[in-house]
C-alpha cells in the first residue's frame, strides 16, 4: 500500500471511531460514571427498602451528572455473591425501576450491567427503560470466575436484541478477559480474544480492566487490544485515577469509573461530586489520540 493509501485508511478508521463515540456519548473521550446500587430484591443482602435504593441511586446519578460525566452505567454491584446465570426476576424489575428514576433526573446516555453476566436481563431492562447500552462481562468464549465457569452467549443475546427491536438503539460493550476472572487456558492471546469479541461476536465496543475492582489494566494488554481493534471503541473498565489517566487514555478512547469518584476513594461510599468534576477535567486535559 502506498503512503497515500495508508494515510487514507488511517483517516477512515479515525472517522469511524469518532462517529461511534460521538453518536453514543457526544464526545470522543467519554467518561462513564458508575452507580453501584444498594442490594436489590432477589439478593441475599437486600434490606427490604426500595426507597433507600432509589434515594441513593438518584443522589449518585445527580452527582455524576452535575460533575460532567458523559454517560452513566447502573450495576447491581452490592448484590454479591452473584449468580452466574440469570438474575432473579425481582432483581431485573428493580433494575428497570431504578433506571427509569435515573433517566428522569439525568439527561445522559444510560447503560445497564446485570451482574454477574446476565446480558439478557440487561438488554430487557435497557429496552424497557430506554437505556442506550449494556455491559457484558463474558460475551464470547468462557472464563473461570468466582461463580464458576461462565460462557458467553453472543449469538443468543444478538438474537434477543433483534427480537426487542433494539438493533440500532442499544449498543453492547463487552469485556475482554474481564476482571475477577481467568481464561481457561494460560496461553490465551488477548489480541485474538479481542478480535473474536468484535469480528465474530459483533460487540459494538470493548472494555479492558485490571485483575479486580479498582485495579488498572496492564498497559501491554491495553496496547495489544488497541492494535487488534484500531477502529473499535475501547474503554478502561477499572482502576483509572488521576495518576494514570494520561497513560491509559493515550491508548483507550474512554473510561468507565467508580472507585475514584467515591468519597475518600472508598468503594462503599457514595459518589463525591467534587471528585467527579476533578476527574472529568483531568480527562479533558488529556490530548486526544
Q: How much is the pLDDT for 20?
A: 82
Summarised one tens digit per residue, pLDDT across range 196-229 is: 999 999 999 999 999 888 889 999 999 999 999 9
Give the domain 12-285 fold: TIM Barrel (3.20.20)
Summarised one tens digit per residue, pLDDT across range 62-113 is: 999 999 999 999 999 999 999 999 999 999 999 999 999 999 999 999 999 9
pTM of the full predicted structure? 0.92
Summarised one tens digit per residue, pLDDT across range 174-198 is: 999 998 999 998 788 999 999 999 9
Poorest-pLDDT segment among 28-37, 45-54, 74-83, 180-189: 180-189
In DSSP notation, the chain reads: --HHHHHHHHHHHHHHHHHHHHHHHSSSS-EEEEEEPPPPTTSTT--S-HHHHHHHHHHHHHHHHHHT-SEEEEE-GGGPSPPSSPPPHHHHHHHHHHHHHHHHH--S-EEEE-TTT-HHHHHHHHHHHT--EEEESS-SSEEEETTEEEE--HHHHHHHHHHTT-TTT-EEEEESS-SSEEESSTT--HHHHHHIIIIIT--SEEEE--SSTTPPPPHHHHHHHHHH-TTS-EEE-S---TTTHHHHHTT-SEEEESGGGBGGG-TTSPB-HHHHHHHHHHHHHSPP-
**Is residue 9's pLDDT more than 60?**
no
Amino acid at each position: 500500500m502506498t503512503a497515500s493509501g495508508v494515510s487514507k485508511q488511517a483517516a477512515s478508521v479515525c472517522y469511524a471511531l469518532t462517529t461511534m463515540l460521538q453518536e453514543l456519548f457526544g464526545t470522543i473521550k467519554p467518561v462513564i460514571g458508575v452507580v453501584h446500587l444498594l442490594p436489590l430484591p432477589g439478593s441475599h443482602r437486600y434490606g427490604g427498602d426500595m426507597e433507600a435504593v432509589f434515594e441513593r441511586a438518584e443522589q449518585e446519578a445527580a452527582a455524576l451528572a452535575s460533575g460532567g460525566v458523559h454517560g452513566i452505567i447502573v450495576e447491581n454491584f452490592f448484590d454479591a455473591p452473584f449468580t452466574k446465570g440469570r438474575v432473579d426476576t425481582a432483581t431485573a424489575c428493580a433494575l428497570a425501576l431504578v433506571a427509569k428514576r435515573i433517566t428522569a433526573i439525568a439527561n445522559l446516555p444510560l447503560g445497564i450491567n446485570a451482574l454477574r453476566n446476565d446480558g439478557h436481563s440487561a438488554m430487557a431492562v435497557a429496552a424497557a427503560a430506554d437505556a442506550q447500552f449494556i455491559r457484558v462481562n463474558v460475551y464470547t468464549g468462557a472464563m473461570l470466575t468466582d461463580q464458576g465457569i461462565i460462557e458467553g452467549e453472543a449469538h443468543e443475546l444478538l438474537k434477543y436484541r433483534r427480537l426487542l427491536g433494539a438493533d440500532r438503539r442499544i449498543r453492547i460493550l463487552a469485556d475482554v478477559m474481564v476482571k475477577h476472572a481467568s481464561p481457561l487456558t494460560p496461553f490465551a492471546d488477548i489480541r485474538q480474544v479481542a478480535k473474536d469479541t468484535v469480528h465474530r461476536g459483533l460487540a459494538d465496543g470493548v472494555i479492558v480492566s485490571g485483575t479486580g475492582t479498582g485495579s488498572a489494566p496492564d498497559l501491554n494488554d491495553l496496547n495489544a487490544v488497541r492494535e487488534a481493534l484500531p477502529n473499535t471503541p475501547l474503554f478502561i473498565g477499572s482502576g483509572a485515577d488521576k495518576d494514570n489517566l494520561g497513560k491509559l487514555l493515550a491508548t483507550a478512547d474512554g473510561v468507565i469509573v467508580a472507585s475514584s469518584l467515591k468519597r475518600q476513594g472508598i468503594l462503599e461510599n457514595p459518589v463525591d461530586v467534587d471528585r467527579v468534576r476533578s476527574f472529568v477535567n483531568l480527562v479533558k486535559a488529556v490530548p486526544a489520540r
